[in-house]
Amino acid sequence: MNYKEISEQLVELLGGKPNITSNAACMTRLRVGLRDMSKADTGGIKKVEGVLGIVEGDTLQIIFGPGKVNKVLEELYKITGLAKGQAEDGDVNDLTRENKAAQKAKYDKPVQRFLKKIANIFVALLPGIIAAGLINGICNVINVSTQGALSGIWWYECIRTMGWAMFAYLPILAGYNAAKEFGGSGVLGAIAGAMSIANASMPLLATYNDAQITLPITNAVFNPANGGLLAALIAGVFFAFLEKKIRKHMPDLIDTFISPLLVLIIGGIIVLLVIQPLGAVLTKGIFAILSFAYEKLGVAGGYILTAGFLPLVSVGLHQALTPIHAMLNDPAGDTQGINYLLPILMMAGGGQVGAGLALYLKTKNKKLKGYIRDSIPVGILGIGEPMMYAVTLPLIRPFVTACIGAGFGGAAAALMHLGTVSQGVSGLFGLLIVKPGQQFGYIIAMLVAYAGGFIVTHFFGVDEDIINEVYGE
């Protein structure tokens, strides 16, 4: 596969270099920002070698799969001249008023746009979150199995520090990215996020006259962990909003100095008195809902969560769950770093594999069989997008039956209380991050998901007429 040629084709099909404003990548998708989305030839892009599908939104997401997407990005950024993950400081006024109106009418869905922004905040953080989670999980196993034999050895403690540092300072990174994503200065958002970091040197934690500082209204002692990651996320967004408002009315002569100062002073007080308590309430609410679904609903909760997950994936909104996964994998959090939500959601891909097998056995369409044959191996390994975008989603009915069948795998995962120590992989590779000792249970749950997707699709998801209409006879 010639990634340079692929990138050159993409630039042309995306409307040329001047039309591209940003290029970034997540685990499987190349995210491209465009000045004018109507100039993109989406049909042509789908035919480019290696492209598994596209998702249209405020950015164009081109699906290549893991590994390949990074190689495409490497070549693409050489052509565009844009740093990876960064947007060009271009003039949006280059767009005509008509194009702006058409674009807004097509993509102006507030909830979807907001969730995608939240997803974008964490896309760049995923490599660190995944690696740190694995370090924490592996080190925990080593400590228990060796009874702490490596404790105190410099290289081992260095590795442990890397796992600790990511989650200890994650609020700073989240605040930084949140402020940038919503149009503010990243460094101001980072300072907002730092309010959620516990440090003995923090003035608010100092002791005066043998007493700690108490806050107004609540008369409680300041707790930097109050609200945690969500507080940092909200604070970063708020700082961006506040900065734009202040700069709008600030004279140019003093804008550089006074605007950031006012953002920190005004924003800091609001973070302390409003946003952190709000973050605490939201965090407790999220954990209460998840606990209810996991503990009270049990098997039914697992089924519902799994069956409803793939529709989120199909429109690219699954990344919005990253903050929740990050909180669940935080060793200092309520779950001690064990993510009990992820194994349930991972079963959704198993339903897709099962649906693909059912289609392969029942259909006579050679083109569809070819797509399925190419998609199943990577689907088993945890890359479900080829199966979803090339097979089940275009046919609709198998996509629905795959979701219904996958729910049984999610129910099994909930029944066995499966957990992971990190995130970022699924399918067979999910065995690498499953809580030690639960690998056999994970395999059982995945086989249930395969069987569920296969059986429901075999009896209710295959319509040869629709297949021939979509793929040709």
> 55 pairs with which residues across the strands?
61
- CB burial of residue 417 (10 Å; 0-12, 13-18, 19+): middle
Helix/strand/coil percentages in the chain, nearest 5 = 65, 5, 25
Catalytic residue among 26, 139, 158, 403: 26
> 62 pairs with which residues across the strands?
30, 54
Q: For residues 59 and 316, what is the distance between their CA atoms, to the nearest angstrom? A: 11
Name residue 137's amino acid: G
| Cβ proximity of 443 and 431 under 8 Å | yes
Active site (annotated) includes residue 158: no
Q: For residues 383 and 386, what is the distance between their CA atoms, to the nearest angstrom? A: 7
First-last CA distance in the chain: 29
**Nearest Cα to 232, choosing from 198, 204, 183?**
198
Q: Buried b / exposed e across 153-188, counting CB within 10 Å, b at 16+?
A: eeeeeebbeebbebbbbbbbbbbbbbbbbbebbbeb
The number of angstroms, rounded, from the C-alpha of 245 to the middle of its chain's C-alpha atoms is 29
Name residue 155's amino acid: W
Q: For residues 204 and 213, what is the distance between their CA atoms, to the nearest angstrom? A: 6
Q: For residues 12 and 68, what is the distance between their CA atoms, to the nearest angstrom? A: 19
Question: Residue 15: which residues within 8 A CB-CB, separation 6 or more?
Answer: 34, 35, 36, 39, 40
Length of the chain: 473
Please, what is the Cα angle at 430 between 410 and 398, to 5 degrees? 50
Name residue 400's amino acid: V
Q: For residues 297 and 287, what is the distance between their CA atoms, to the nearest angstrom? A: 14
Residues marked as catalytic? 26
